Structure 1
Amino acid sequence: MANKIKLLLAEDEAALGQIIKESLETRDFEVTLCENGEVALKKYESESPEILVLDVMMPKKDGFTLAKEIRAIDETIPIIFLTAKSQTADVVEGFSIGGNDYLKKPFSMEELIVRVHNLVDRTKTQKASETIMIGAFSFDFPKQQLKYKNEDGTPLTHREAHLLFHLIKNKNQVLDRSLILNKLWGTDDFFSARSMDVFITKLRKKLKKDDSIQIINVRGFGYKLTD
C-alpha cells in the first residue's frame, strides 16, 4: 500500500469538517482536523503535514492569516483554501499570500482529492530537484543539508537553510535586510537584526572551506553572497 498523505484540515464547521476528514481517510489520507486557525498552527508545527487545506472564514485566526504565518517559515508546503466567498478580490488575495489552489463551497470530494494529489505530486517533484550548487558546495534545501565535495553533509537549522536559500537565490545581488527579517523573523527590530547577524556568522563558518564564497555585509542595506 502506498504511504498515506499527511493532510492538515482547518474547518470550523464541525459537520463539514468531519465529512471531509472521513471521506479523505477512506482514500489513504492521514487527516488532522482542526476547528480554528490557532489550533491548526500548533498542529502544523507538531504534525509536519504534507499539505494544508484551510477554510478562509474561521474564528480566532482566519485561513489567510494562518497561511501568511506558515508561509513565513515554510515556502514549499502546498496550501488549498476552502471558501464560500465568491469575490474575485478574495481569490486574488488567497493566491497573493501564497495559496496554491482555491475551492469554492460547495465542492465535490473527488475534485478536492484530485487537486490535493496534483499539488503533493508537483511539490515532491520540485523538491527532488532542489539541490543547489554554490562553489564547491551542494545545498539540499528540502533536507536542510550543506555538503562540501564528497564529504558527509552538514545539517542546517530551519532558519539557516532558509537564510542561505534566499542568499543564493539573490546571488551577486544585495539581499534587503528589512525584507528578509520580516520574512524569516516576522519583524525587523533591533533584536531580530542582531539574531540575523549571528546566523550570517554561522553560515560563513560553514562555507569557509571554499574561500571563493563570501557573504558580504553591505552596510545600511543587507547582505550579498558571491562565489
Structure 2
Amino acid sequence: MNEVKPSILLVEDDQNFGDVLKSYLEMHDFDITLRSDGEAGKDAFDSGNYDLCIFDVMMPKKDGFTLAKEIRTEDKKTPIIFLTAKSLNQDIVEGLKIGADDYISKPFNSEELLLRVQAILKRSQNGMEEEEDKTEFDFGKFSFNFPLRTLEYNDGADSDESKLSPKEAQLLRLFCIHKNNVLTRSEALTKIWGEDNYFTARSMDVFVTKLRKYLKRDSDIEIVNIHGNGFQLLVKEEADSQ
C-alpha cells in the first residue's frame, strides 16, 4: 500500500521559481499544487485539502497576507509559511499576527525551506496546535507554570522553585510548546521581542543562557543550538521514545 504524500499548496507568482520549488519538493515526496496568484490560490484552497500552505507575499490580484487572512477566517489550523523578498520587521510581524507559522526571506536555500516544512508538519502531526493554549508544562524533573512564572525542580530527593522573569517565562513557554522540535529564532524574536534584528537576537541569546542555568540540574534536558535556524529544547527520554 502506497503511503499518502503530504499535500502542499504553493502560491508563487514567479513561474520559473515556482516550478523549481515544486520540482524540488516533489523530489522529497510531497504532493504539490502550484498556483501563480492569490485569487487562484484561494480557489485551490477552497477546492482542496492541504497539510501545509506556502504563500509568496507580493502577488498580483491578491497578495499573500490577504490570502492568509481570508483562509484564517475559516481555517485556523492549516500551517502557513510566507515567502518574502523583504526582510522588513513589519512584514514579519504582520505575517505572524495573521497566523503564519513561519516565514523565509528570499533568496533562500531550498534545503532550508525543506527543513522548515518538515519541522512544521512534524509539529502538526504530533498535535502541537493543542499545546499552543497550554500554560502548565511538565518535562524531565521540572514543572513550569507560565502564568505564575514558576519553575519547580523535583527529583524525589531534592526540590526547589525558581521565579522567572517575564521574558524568561515567555521564552521557556515557547521552548515547551516546541519541545524536541526546532524553535526558529525568527518565531521567538517576533513573538516575544516584536522584531527580528541583531540587537533582539543578542538579547535572546542572553535569555537562552539564563534558561540553560536553570535547567542544568536535569542532565536529560538540554537547549541545543540548531546552526543557522534556532534552538531545540531536547528532553532526552521523550526524544528517544519518539
Give, in angstroms, the shift of residue 109 of structure 1: 1.0
Residue number in structure 1 paired with 2:7: 6
What's 2:37 paired with?
36
What's 2:64 paired with? Answer: 63
AA of the residue aligned to 2:93 = V
Structure 1 residue identity aligned to 2:89: T
Q: Is the 8 A contact 2:8 2:52 kept in 1?
A: yes
Name the aligned partner's letter for residue 50 of structure 1: D
Offset at residue 43 of structure 1 (A): 0.5
Q: 1:101 is matched with which residue?
A: 102
Aligned match of 2:156: none
Q: How many residues are paired up? A: 130
Counterpart for residue 92 of structure 1: 93
Structure 1 residues 146-184: Cα deviation after superposition (integer angstroms, max 9, x where no partner): xxxxxxxxxxxxxxxxxxxxxxxxxxxxxxxxxxxxxxx
CA contact (8 A) 2:77 2:129 kept: no
Amino acid at match of 1:116: V
Give the TM-score, by structure 1 length.
0.55
Q: Measured at CA, do residues 115 and 42 of structure 1 come closer, stay the same or move farther in structure 2, by a change above 3 Å?
A: same
Corresponding residue number in structure 2 for 1:209: none
Q: CA deviation at 1:86?
A: 1.5
Shift of 1:3: 2.6
Distance 1:3-1:128 versus aligned 2 partners, 3 A rule: farther
Note the C-alpha offset of 1:96.
Answer: 0.5
Specify the code of the residue in structure 2 equivalent to 1:64: F
- Structure 1 residue runs of 5 or longer lacking an equivalent are 131-227
Match of 2:120 in 1: 119
Give the Å deviation of 1:6.
0.2
Alpha-carbon distance in structure 2 between the residues aligned to 1:31 and 1:85: 25
Shift of 1:120: 1.0
Q: Deviations over 1:50-104 (max 9, x none)?
A: 1000000000000000000000101001000001012101100000000110000
Amino acid at match of 2:31: E
**Inter-partner Cα distance in structure 2 for 1:68 and 1:124:** 23
Shift of residue 116 of structure 1? Answer: 0.6
SS of equivalent to 1:54: strand
Q: What displacement does 1:125 show? A: 1.4
Q: In the aligned structure 2, how far is the partner of 1:41 from the partner of 1:85?
A: 23
Deviation of the 1:121 alpha carbon: 1.2
Return the letter of the residue paired with 2:38.
G
TM-score normalized by structure 2?
0.52
Structure 2 distance, partners of 1:127, 1:86, is 27
Match of 1:205 in 2: none
Alignment partners' CA distance in 2, 1:62 and 1:96: 16
Moved over 3 A (4+): 127-130
